[in-house]
Chains A and B, each alone.
Chain A
Amino acid sequence: MTNVSGIPKIETPSTPQINEAAEITEGINNIDERGSSIETDGSPDLRIEDMTDEKVRNIAETRKTDGLMLAEKTLSPMDYEKEVLNEGKELGVLPSDSYYKEVQEKIIDATEKYIEDVDKIQNYVDEEISKKTEETPEDTVENKEIEEINIQEEARWWGFTDDKKFSPETQTLVENNPDLNDLLKDFSPEEQEIFEEMYHKIFDTLPPEEKNRLLEEKNIINNILKQETEKDNAEEFRKLMIRLAVKVSVKVAVTILKNIQKSSESKAAKVTCGTLADLLEAGGKEFDKAYTGEVNPEDLTIALRNHFFEKA
């Protein structure tokens, strides 16, 4: 755009654009002075202390969703920004790194750190809920013994050995790096259903970077999930999770396992999924390094052996 003299007019933001920018501070101004999620009725202390662990957990979940929505909104370009980007593109003027790359990365990093912190609080609450469940008076010695036997039986069904170590097949599997299809084809319909449900449930809550990473694998996984088989094979499920951790993301595999741990009615499934999640988390850094190419396959094999077989 040029003015009468032919000199380009320096386009300062219009009123609506300034209003849009004013959203920057809107969030701060609108926050309750206490910044609290707690509804009070004049006797806040009593109500807060009476709040159940489950309620605290729900608040954490809500805050996580709010945070992701806020991050998504922050990442979306403003109207004024879109105009500038279009004009820059037409003129062949590229935005600086400080514009796109650095700020976008900071937003993603801050979001990931935030989710991580809320997860920590959630995990803490879950641990407390778990402790309270274990301490219920119905857990008589006899019941506990029966339950222990059932857990062992079911844990074996899930593919765990009694000493919680992974089988030699798993080691071979990781070392030989077979195709993901081979691991998933033996899923039972029930396992496929669990996996698909968990996969979609967590996919929507992942940070954008993680989503992009997963999208690369999405077609492979979806194709495999379409295959049906009557064969029950918990070992394959376990292998899938390890494979998923290597191939896609430790965080995804661990989240799936923890979701099953929380939602399953089977205590054995809870225990085995919890153990596997812990093991994957322990080896997580090595997996991630392998994924990003920081370590070569030989080093990964050694790292896996250390994490899963010697330390398990």
Chain B
Amino acid sequence: MSITNREKVELIDRRYLEFKIRMAELKKQRFEAIIEYRKAIDGEKLRRIRAGVYY
């Protein structure tokens, strides 16, 4: 089945839009993971302070 040039360009654009959204989602996931990592670091700091080894 042949598709027109308009459909081809729309297909390319739609796929690019999907990709862009996917990248945004992944960046969001990564940012959320950084926040979790940040919490782990602060937890470790807190543990060291309580143990008297953090300054």
Q: A interface vs B, CB < 8 Å? A: 2, 6-8, 10-11, 13, 21, 23-25, 27-28, 31, 34-38, 45, 48-49, 51-53, 55-56, 59-60, 63, 66-67, 70-71, 74, 78, 80-81, 84, 87-88, 91-93, 95-96, 98-99, 103, 106-107, 110-111, 114, 117-118, 121, 124-125, 128
Q: What is the count of residue pairs linking A and B with beta-carbon distances less than 8 angstroms?
A: 142
Shortest Cβ gap from B32 to chain A (Å): 9
Shortest Cβ gap from A6 to chain B (Å): 6
Indicate whether A74 sits within 8 Å of B27 (C-beta atoms), given known contacts A38-B9, A125-B8: yes
B26 touches A56 (CB 8 A): no
A10 — which chain B residues lie within 8 A by C-beta?
39, 42
B26 — which chain A residues lie within 8 A by C-beta?
74, 103, 106-107, 110
B40 touches A8 (CB 8 A): no
Which of B9, B21, B37, B40 sits near A37, CB closer than 8 Å?
B9
Which of B4, B13, B15, B30 sits near A103, CB closer than 8 Å?
B30
**Secondary structure class of chain B's binding surface, majority of residues:** helix
Give the complex CA separation of A115 and B27 in angstroms: 19
Give the complex CA separation of A117 and B22 in angstroms: 15
Which of B12, B38, B49 sits near A7, CB closer than 8 Å?
B49
Give the complex CA separation of A21 and B35 in angstroms: 11
Indicate whether A49 sits within 8 Å of B4 (C-beta atoms), given known contacts A24-B28, A70-B20, A80-B34: yes
B21 — which chain A residues lie within 8 A by C-beta?
27-28
Shortest Cβ gap from B54 to chain A (Å): 8
List which B1-28 residues lie within 8 A (CB) of chain A.
2, 4-6, 8-17, 19-24, 26-28
Give the complex CA separation of A163 and B48 in angstroms: 75
B24 touches A31 (CB 8 A): no
